[in-house]
Amino acid sequence: MPFRMRRFEESLSMHTNPTAKENLMAGSETYDTLKTLPQKARWLRGLVARLEDQVDKAVAAEIMEACGRRCIGSSVLEKARRFKQDAHDLDDLLDRLNQAHIGGGKLRREGNIIRASYERCYCGSVNQTRQPFSAVYCYCSCGWYKELFETVLEKPVEIKLIESIIQGAEICRFEIRI
């Protein structure tokens, strides 16, 4: 899924003051005019750096998480809900999600933790970059997982980013505490 400036702007509205939002959105119209994925990735890397300059890391993470929560498609959530209805237990649900390649296809449970990983960055706007990104950007994926698992489990979950490809790791890894 590519980065959507509108989602980012809406997340800024929820988590920052109008001045910070205005400063961060300055020049945002440029993003949609960029033609190549490497150009978009460079621009987004600069945006994340400005975000980290404007707000503290926790707020920056909340902003990106909010983007990710809105990034997951309703059809994915509906399919996951159907899997939950048909599943015998959590492990069966994870098997069904893996078979459908929802959440990267490598979900596994260890007690009250679901370990998630994927071998490529799924964000179409940054996965072509060769330069490391701030971990803050990957909180978008945390929000995606949070929306998925809070929807199907019908309870709050905590997501922890362990490592990511755009930070130089071989794989993206997350922990979902249920």
- pLDDT per position as a tens digit, 89-113: 999 999 999 999 999 999 999 999 9
The answer to whether 85 and 96 are in contact (CB under 8 A) is: no
Rounded CA separation 63/8 (Å): 7
The structure's pTM equals: 0.92
Q: Which domain holds residue 94?
A: 5-177
Number of domains within the chain: 1
Check whether 2 has a pLDDT greater than 70.
Answer: no
Please give the span between the terminal C-alpha atoms of the chain, in angstroms, as a whole number: 25
The CATH number assigned to the domain holding 42 equals 3.30.1380
Interval 7-57: pLDDT, tens: 999 999 999 999 999 999 999 999 989 988 888 888 999 999 999 999 999
